[in-house]
Amino acid sequence: MSDDPKALALKSNTALANMPVSIEELVKDSALGGELTLKDISIPYLYILQTNSPQCNPDDGKYIEGATAGMFYLTVVEKIFEGRKEGITIVPCYYERKIMEWVRREDGGGLVGSYPAEDPIMQKAKPNDKNQMILPNGHQLMDTAYHYILVYDPEDGNWTQAIMPFKSTGLKISRKLNSIVKKTYIPGTQKRAPRFLYTYNFKTVKEQKDTNIWSSLSFEQTDMALREVYANAKAYSEIAAQDLLTRAPEPSEGIQEALPF
């Protein structure tokens, strides 16, 4: 990814020279091709790549050139972002917790359904030797925190709607982010600020326990969102609250492609 303004200008000029018709005609034609609704667009997930992520394995069909452990990975658009040094800029927009029912990976994997966070179905599950909550039918229940976010792409200057899931002990990171959001006030007041008032810098950090090594998440609140970004984040929050979004499929192995806690 290049941040060189000369390189970006050259790329832009080349695109303009290669356009088949005028910009005015392109604007008119943009209304053609059929109508897309929210249900026709998949919202991608943002994960942290691990050493065992298929995107990092050159012999795997899901391999992405240049992908390494510790990078951020955006599904659907199949894009990777550096995580260790500069990290990425995001805006938190909406939050929800759900109980997700999965067919375990060793049984073929696959999402069965979801339930409200306080649903009594969790009482029917019992922990196995791996401390997984297992239903009588053999399915696994996972308490999952979903953070709906805008992700900034420095390559094209655009923001992408995404979802970042946290499960298992990764929930402590989710709670930390929520604590910061809850303690953020509108400047000059004692009123709690909207969730999407500020941007955050997300980075990845190396974690180790015994012989297990993985990449985890660190973050800090940075700048106040610009007016246009704030408006986009607010709109995304309102849409997410109405459950009008179509999510991209989550991997059957769940959080192992993100935060393997």
In a domain, 24, yes or no: no
The whole-number pLDDT of residue 33 equals 67
In a domain, 131, yes or no: no
The whole-number pLDDT of residue 49 equals 94
Q: How confident is the model at residue 211 (pLDDT cuts 50, 70, 90)?
A: confident
In a domain, 40, yes or no: yes
Q: What angle do CA 138, 141, 144 make, to 5 degrees?
A: 160
The whole-number pLDDT of residue 44 equals 92
3-class DSSP state for residue 61?
coil
In a domain, 234, yes or no: yes
Question: Which segment of 9-18, 44-53, 197-206 scores lowest on mean pLDDT?
Answer: 9-18
Task: Judge whether residue 35 has pLDDT over 60.
Answer: no
Q: How confident is the model at residue 2 (pLDDT cuts 50, 70, 90)?
A: very low
In a domain, 141, yes or no: no
Residue in the block written with tokens 């938190």: 92
Give the closest residue to 194 by CA, choosing from 245, 223, 233, 165.
233
Task: Judge whether residue 27 has pLDDT over 90.
Answer: no
Q: How confident is the model at residue 5 (pLDDT cuts 50, 70, 90)?
A: low
The whole-number pLDDT of residue 4 equals 55
In a domain, 56, yes or no: yes
What's the structural domain count of the chain? 1
The whole-number pLDDT of residue 12 equals 52
Which own/partner pairs from 130-138 qualify as long-range (CB within 8 Å, at least 24 positions apart)?
132/104, 134/104, 135/101, 138/103, 138/104, 138/107
In a domain, 14, yes or no: no
Task: Judge whether residue 53 has pLDDT over 70.
Answer: yes
Mean of pLDDT values over 186-206? 96
Domain that holds residue 220: 34-95+147-257
Task: Judge whether residue 260 has pLDDT over 60.
Answer: no
In a domain, 13, yes or no: no
- Report how far residue 197's alpha carbon sits from residue 233's, in angstroms, rounded to the nearest whole number: 9
